[in-house]
Amino acid sequence: MAGPVLAMRSITKTFPGVKALSDVNLTVAAGEVHAICGENGAGKSTLMKVLSGVYPHGSYEGEILFQGEPCHFRSIRQSEQRGIVIIHQELALVPYLSIAENIFLGNEHAKRGIISWHRTLSHAAELLKRVGLSENPQTRIADIGVGKQQLVEIAKALAKEVKLLILDEPTAALNDEDSRKLLDLILELKAQGISCIIISHKLNEIAKVADSVTILRDGRTIETLAVGPEGIAEDRIIRGMVGRDLEHRYPERTPEIGEVALAVEDWTVQHPIHHQRKVVDGVSVNVRHGEIVGIAGLMGAGRTELAMSVFGRSYGRHTGGRVLMHGKEVSTRTVPEAIGHGLAYVTEDRKHLGLNLLDDISRNISLSALKKVSRRGVVDEHEEHRVAERYRKSLNIKAPSVFAETGKLSGGNQQKVVLSKWIFAEPEVLILDEPTRGIDVGAKAEIYQVIADLAAQGRAVLVISSELPELLGLCDRIYTMAEGRLTGELGRADATQESLMRLLTTSAATPNEQV
Amino acid sequence: MTQTETPEITASTPPAAEHSSVGAVLLRALRGNVRQYGMLLALALIVVLFQIWTDGILLQPLNVTNLIQQNSYILILAIGMMIVIIAGHIDLSVGSLAAFVGAASAVLMIKHGMSWPLALVLALLIGAAAGAWQGFWIAYIGIPSFIVTLAGMLLFRGGTQIMLQGQSIAPFPRGFQQIGNGFLPEVGPHTNYHNLTLLLGAAVLAVAVLQEVRGRRRAASYGLELLPAGLFLAKLAVITAAVAVFTLLLASYRGFPIVLLILGVLLVGFGYLMRNSIIGRHTYAIGGNEAAAKLSGVKSKRVVFLAFVNMGVLAALAGLVFAARLNAGTPQAGINFELEAIAAAFIGGASASGGVGTVFGAIIGGLVLGVLNNGMSLVGVGTDYQQVIKGLVLLAAVGFDVYNKRKVGS
């Protein structure tokens, strides 16, 4: 094989308070398929954003050599001109434009601003043939399935004369059939001399298509493994992905576990738009008073969708299953109903779904239980401030006062405000979705303590997290989900990072029921 | 609140009236509300400028009374519009709806001879029904408010013309006219001033000062940060001076306009509702982040629906005041009122994306426009240039806010 097509050397990228990448190296040989593996938050996407110019040259340290030449990309446009094209997990297609229009969006066949439709359509047809998609180029994107849309994305990349194609979780939204087709296409492109970087959680896919694998963990390169003709042992990759010390301190606790507080039975949810896709498929979980139960899963496993659907049907179309509180079936059809039955859902997306960033700390904390600080519909602002002040102290929210706008707080402090809001609502069951995402180590330890205290008060806590050490450190019991289904349930004693990771990367085609 | 659901509540007294420098406190207070204080300042500046340019005509008792009566309907609309905008919506139909209700009241009173109090109540109900109609499509069906109220704008304008058959209807009963033109009655011995106005002014002053003092005492009992005593006294002095001057101005002409009484009640009532009630708080939450509000258990559809019902009632009230002042129901009533009301709300601190603004701000914004209109007319600026200047003021006010936010944020 020729020299490397891409060499990224000593890449370091820091965000305020967080080192996302530290001294990362990545070398991709010409004409190979190179996989990047790592847990959520290991730095895979950040690395690709550095490569493609989303984070402009100068905002990171280290150097990038593409085809032997140093690169200083300041925008995606510049990296695309060199032939580096990234296809994101969320497809970037305009639904109401045609396939052809999407393929050449920003790259139109035009003369003096006037589009030549003949060339556009004939070239589009040619590209569609290359990716093996038999659709009329004039079909609207909205009218074809996700699998075909993925192929259109690749055709779009080919139109830009791609030399290095980056695919971020390309099969996450695809069914088995479409996934297989896509992987075949990647191999075919490789035969045509196009190098490829593929980011994936699905180890069986990596074993099938990749020539080598680079493993990232906590923003560092751990190792690069070559894949032999006989494939690679998945266990080998898993060991690289999880092998780290438990670096966070978890609170010591002796759980006093009581009756089952919340039980969800046989819960099924359809995708809000693509009704044929079951995002959550027949999942049953329960949590007892005083217990902390984890739900592990990689991105797209359906954990958040399960939680939001149970909490007032806030996601998708619910098609089956029931919710029981203390053994009695209850309706959680609307959010007020769910709250009324003692449920709380602390979102993973605090900026979009958790906080009113325009408003101050005290008003955010009181929002879900305003009645508790009001009399006859009138809010007692002083009482409200006192409550907020109490949480500011007890949860150690770092802000000049409770009148500080939440939009100006750090991630950790915002998370504490969202937690305060739901603790103030005094729920019996708290569902915490990625409670420590994007916050620094110190604040993480504080939040773990709050969670442990909540359980000690007899509340039932469900923790959804992508960080396995976090679940292992906190939980009494852990469910695993993959592709919308429950793939296992492990007690504290049996759970290890390896055993969990195996259940998380289990393909839905071979469900590994242990319940 | 006695429950302590979180660990380790350290029950020391909060850092109450720690003495920070006067400047720092003032700055902090200002920073929170740059737009509103800025506009209050701008209003004062505009008043002073026109007072000079008009050789003192602007603040003559007659002109002040006129100013209030001329702008009252826009101010009424601005209050409702502010609430709609805070919730993240817009209402383009209020001008047409005001005309529609004015016409309906004219038909009821003049053609059918209905007693005016009964007609007034019916007219307000018509406004509520119209608001409910629009609110239904917006909140429950999910059609954007811009579209629904654009349709309403055409609908109610057309309805007005159909009802009036293109003709004005006049005159209204005397009692009804008072809503637009009337003053509180003359009582007591003859002084050079209007007695009831003086009494009312004194009462307002007393209540305002009492509220400030009580609020301060309560805040202190909860250990919240207070304005330093000196600044607090200065604030009281400014309030006293403003109320006293305004009262004397009104009292030396024909007294307290009835419509000002209506406005005062609306300002205090809606100000309180938006600041202190649960539904007010929910309105801000929806405009600030509807998804988060919904996940917090806020019934956002109902709140949006009610905001439009309320807007309908206020549009009806504005229509009645306008008809009473004009002493006729006319097909051309209310043209461009919606734009004036929207401009008032934005000048007064609303955000185009919702979640921000106060009822007080809407009034300030409306007064800025009103004083500009009145002042420029007195100076003799033509309506052509008036529009240009008002356009620039709107752009500048919102531009200042956007610039200011960018500086603070990021």
Distance separating alpha carbons of residues A335 and A308, to the nearest angstrom: 10
Spans in chain B with pLDDT lower than 70: 1-36, 224, 405-410
Half-sphere exposure of B206 (CA within 13 A, CB side): 6
Structure tokens given for A510: 């071979």
Rounded to a whole number of angstroms, the distance from the CA of A408 to the nearest CA of chain B is 7
B7 with A339: Cβ contact below 8 A: no
Question: Any idea which residue has 């990038």 for tokens?
Answer: A64
CA angle B243, B246, B249 (to 5 degrees): 150
Distance separating alpha carbons of residues B55 and B66, to the nearest angstrom: 17
Position B23 scores a pLDDT of 63
| Partner residue opposite A363 with nearest CB, options B1, B222, B281 | B281
Position A509 scores a pLDDT of 45
Half-sphere exposure of B255 (CA within 13 A, CB side): 18
Tell me, which fold does domain B33-182+257-409 have in CATH?
Answer: ABC transporter involved in vitamin B12 uptake, BtuC (1.10.3470)
Position B210 scores a pLDDT of 92
DSSP state of B58: T
Distance separating alpha carbons of residues B93 and A145, to the nearest angstrom: 42
Closest residue, chain B, to A390 (C-alpha): B9
Distance separating alpha carbons of residues A175 and A186, to the nearest angstrom: 17
Q: At what angle do helices B258-276 and B278-288 cross, to 10 degrees?
A: 70
Residues 6+ apart with CB under 8 A from B365: B39, B78, B343, B344, B345, B346, B347, B348, B349, B397
Interface test with B, best of A345, A351, A353, A358 (most B CBs within 10 A): A358
Position B21 scores a pLDDT of 59
Residues 6+ apart with CB under 8 A from B297: A312, A335, A336, A338, A339, A368
Question: Which residues does chain A have within 8 Å of residue B225's beta carbon, measured at their own beta carbons?
Answer: 401
| Partner residue opposite B277 with nearest CB, options A373, A377, A385 | A377
Which amino acid belongs to residue B209?
V
Q: Which DSSP string corresponds to B298-317?
A: --HHHHHHHHHHHHHHHHHH
Dihedral pair phi/psi, residue B236, rounded to 5°: -60, -40
Interface test with A, best of B4, B5, B217, B279 (most A CBs within 10 A): B5
Closest residue, chain A, to B357 (C-alpha): A358
Closest residue, chain B, to A332 (C-alpha): B297
A378 with B292: Cβ contact below 8 A: no
Rounded to a whole number of angstroms, the distance from the CA of B224 to the nearest CA of chain A is 8
Structure tokens given for A281: 């498929």
Position B36 scores a pLDDT of 64
Q: Is the Cβ–Cβ distance between A38 and A217 less than 8 Å?
A: yes
Q: Is the Cβ–Cβ distance between B176 and B120 less than 8 Å?
A: yes
Question: Which residues does chain A have within 8 Å of residue B34's beta carbon, measured at their own beta carbons?
Answer: none
Nearest to A249 by CA among A499, A456, A444: A444
Distance separating alpha carbons of residues B355 and A54, to the nearest angstrom: 31
Position B30 scores a pLDDT of 58
Per DSSP, the three-state class of A455 is helix
Dihedral pair phi/psi, residue A464, rounded to 5°: -100, 125
Rounded to a whole number of angstroms, the distance from the CA of A378 to the nearest CA of chain B is 4
Question: Any idea which residue has 């109320």 for tokens?
Answer: B243
Chain A, residues 402-441, CB within 8 A of chain B, namely 403, 407-408, 420-421, 423-424, 426
B1 touches chain A (CB under 8 A): yes
Burial string for B44-56 (b: 16+ CB within 10 Å, else e) reads eebbeebbebbee
Do the strands A343-346 and A195-199 form a parallel or antiparallel pair, or are they unpaired?
Answer: unpaired
Position A433 scores a pLDDT of 93
Interface test with B, best of A348, A356, A403, A415 (most B CBs within 10 A): A356
Question: Which residues does chain A have within 8 Å of residue B355's beta carbon, measured at their own beta carbons?
Answer: 356, 358-359
Interface test with B, best of A359, A414, A450 (most B CBs within 10 A): A359
Distance separating alpha carbons of residues A425 and A102, to the nearest angstrom: 47
Q: Is the Cβ–Cβ distance between B329 and B165 less than 8 Å?
A: no
Strand order in the sheet with A33-37: A84-87, A164-168, A195-199, A33-37, A212-217, A220-226
B278 touches chain A (CB under 8 A): yes
| Partner residue opposite B6 with nearest CB, options A367, A383, A391 | A391
Per DSSP, the three-state class of A9 is strand
Nearest to A301 by CA among A376, A378, A202: A202
Distance separating alpha carbons of residues A223 and A35, to the nearest angstrom: 12
Distance separating alpha carbons of residues A282 and A286, to the nearest angstrom: 14
CA distances from B236 to A192, A212, A381 (A): 81, 75, 22
Interface ipTM: 0.76
- Establish, for the pair of chains A and B, how many residue pairs have beta carbons separated by less than 8 Å: 122
Chain A, residues 330-389, CB within 8 A of chain B, namely 335-336, 338-339, 345, 347, 352-359, 363, 366-368, 370-374, 377-379, 381-383, 385-387, 389
Q: Is the Cβ–Cβ distance between A220 and A212 less than 8 Å?
A: no
Strand partners, A87: A167
Strand partners, A324: A263, A329
Neighbours of A92 (CB within 10 A): 11
CA distances from A262 to A287, A312, A423 (A): 5, 14, 17
Nearest to A216 by CA among A206, A225, A227: A225
Q: Is the Cβ–Cβ distance between A265 and A138 less than 8 Å?
A: no
Rounded to a whole number of angstroms, the distance from the CA of A367 to the nearest CA of chain B is 7
Question: Any idea which residue has 């907020």 for tokens?
Answer: A388
A356 with B299: Cβ contact below 8 A: no
Spans in chain A with pLDDT lower than 70: 1-2, 16-18, 40-41, 243-248, 440-441, 507-515
